[in-house]
Amino acid sequence: MFRTASALCMLAASTMLVNPAHAETELTMYYPIAVGGPLTKVVDGIVADFEAQNPDIKVNAIYAGNYDDTRIKALSALNSGDPAQLAVMFSIDAYDLIEQDLVVAFDDVIESDEEKAWLDSFYPALMANGKIEGKTWGVPFQRSTIVAYYNKDMFRAAGLDPEKAPTTWDELVEMGKALTNDGSYGLMIPSTGYPYWMFQALAIQNGKEVMSNDGATTYFDDETIVDTLEFWKSLSSEHGIMPEGTVEWGTLRQAFLEGKTAMMWHSTGNLTAVKNNASFDFGVAKLPGKVRLGSPTGGGNFYIFKDSTEEEKEAALELIKFMTSPEQAAAWSIATGYMGVSPAAYETEALQAYTKEFPPALVARDQLEHAVAEFSTFETARVREGLNNAIQSALTGAKSAEEALGEAQDAAERLLKAYK
């Protein structure tokens, strides 16, 4: 039966009444592309699906480089008056964004019981960086833990069990020595890009956090933290299982694929790229431990910028709800290697089938049991830079671990004094 023109007009009018806030709403979203893989195409596909279901909302996705680049470009746009309603930025940027009064809490945007249930649906470990002083400022999307990738063929050649990755630091050193030869190293841990992240993992495994949970205190000069950096240095200087100096974040995955290292620690966001490009049998495992197992969470959260209209905030919330829905989160995890951000994502038919076929896709999620919030403080960028510089100074031999971390602690205390 054909609808009459008047009926179509009535339908259009009723649609406008049902969803008036979204009429002709345009969103600008800043998005980081920090890890390998054709992520722009994946995000573009999700955005296109959203626009198809929400024809009155247009989304302009701006791909801004790594997380630091994204923060700088998004905040520069806001400061210059260019419109931006939402972004995926570091989960650890929350303190600074709150301090600058740039974002709104999701608790102040959601209204219905359904939306409250959605906000409570994510893995608690992934929410830790976004929840501050009783409110939720960031919602997880591009999230990760650090995992250990290892070349099973190289394990076999060294007489090691290809189904057993190191679970302790002692095993890491022992296996690393068996895997190191003239052509390759047993292990590479990246020390550029995000050295603080890898260092936090080691510190946790050694039984010590590097910061408090209030954003105002760091423990860089603690004896256990110093011991942790000395251990990292010893992997090259004493045990010879890792290259001297620094290991590049950006080229490490390729080094692993080329057989230059038997094991690497890296983001689970590299998983699909490794799966698609490895010419050898590889495995993925939780990180080993000394006192305990552990990895910090990592990656990006969605934030909604305060300087936007109510209609734009509502439209941004709709986009975020869509992109974090179980079905979309499952598709995202399969396409990239990042984890599904909610238990419901792993209950979808798509992700259940994928993880049954490819069990390594579950490792990062399973490691959440041992995960802690990623390093974050007020003045995060500057405090983090001091720690990064200390790590690299010690690894290159420019300074002792104790001296380098002592200087980083002194700098952090100066920066954080006003927040205590």
Report pLDDT digits (tens) over 269-301: 999 999 999 999 999 999 999 999 999 999 999
Domain ranges in the chain? Answer: 12-143+298-361, 144-297+372-419
Q: Which CATH class is domain 144-297+372-419?
A: alpha beta
**203-222, pLDDT tens digit by residue?**
999 999 999 989 999 999 99
pLDDT > 70? residue 22: no
- Predicted pLDDT of residue 34: 56
Query: What percent of the chain has pLDDT above 70?
Result: 94
Mean pLDDT across 244-255: 96
pLDDT exceeds 70 at position 1: no
- Average pLDDT over the chain, rounded to an integer: 92
CA distance 195 to 190: 7
DSSP code of 261?
A: B
Give dist(CA 261, CA 151) in Å, integer: 8
Query: Whole-angstrom Cα distance, residue 180 to residue 242?
Result: 8
Instruction: Give burial (CB, 10 Å; 0-12/13-18/19+) of 85.
Output: buried
Q: Give the CA distances from residue 36 to residues 90, 249, 341, 374, in Å, rounded to whole numbers and listed in that order.
A: 17, 11, 19, 21
Report residue 168 as tokens: 């302790």
pLDDT score recorded for residue 184: 96
Cβ partners under 8 Å of residue 317, min gap 6? 106, 109, 110, 115, 304
- Of 2-6, 66-70, 385-389, the least confident: 2-6
- Give residue 24's pLDDT band: very low, low, confident or very high (50, 70, 90): confident
pLDDT tens per residue, range 64-95: 888 888 999 999 988 888 889 999 999 999 99
Q: In which band, very low, low, confident or very high, does the pLDDT at 124 lie, cut at 50, 70 and 90?
A: very high
Q: What is the pLDDT of residue 83?
A: 82
R_g over Cα of the chain:
23
Q: What is the mean pLDDT of residues 222-245?
A: 98
For the entire predicted model, the pTM comes to 0.89
Q: How far apart are CA 145 and CA 369, in angstroms?
A: 11
Give the DSSP per-residue string, 353-389: HHHHH-GGGGHHHHGGGGEEPPP--TTHHHHHHHHHH
For residue 81, the model assigns a pLDDT of: 83
Residue 3 pLDDT class (50, 70, 90 cuts): very low
Q: What is the DSSP string of 266-293?
A: EEGGGHHHHHHH-SS-EEEEPPPBSSS-
CATH class of 12-143+298-361: alpha beta
pLDDT of res. 64? 83
Who's near 237: CB < 8 A, 6+ residues apart? 244, 397
Could you list the beta-strand ranges (E) of 80-214. Answer: 86-90, 131-132, 135-136, 139-151
Mention every residue, 6+ apart, whose C-beta is less than 8 A from residue 329: 141, 323, 340, 341, 342, 344, 345
Is there a common fold for 12-143+298-361 and 144-297+372-419?
Answer: yes
